[in-house]
Amino acid sequence: MEIDQDDVESMRRGFWAIGLVLAPIELAIGIVVFLLGQTWALALVAVGVVALIFFFMGYRRDKSHRSA
């Protein structure tokens, strides 16, 4: 079975869309739970921040590859 470049790009955009939607939700839940006194929620905040960083790093890299 062969995977062409369009399929790869489509999957990549799908993962980015999922990350862009889920990371802010995870951040919001983590912040609210932390403010309610649960220190373990800082792990959710950290994962959400890392997810957003990776999302934007990948988005910028893909954008620069397309323009080249």
Tell me, yes or no, if the pTM score tops 0.85: no
Token pair, residue 32, equals 């609210």
Angle of the 5-35 helix axis to the 41-67 helix axis, nearest 10: 150
DSSP 4-63: -HHHHHHHHHHHHHHHHHHHHHHHHHHHHHHHTT-TTHHHHHHHHHHHHHHHHHHHHHHH
Tell me phi and psi for residue 38, to 5 degrees.
-100, 110
pLDDT along the chain (68 residues), means of 10: 74 75 87 92 88 76 61
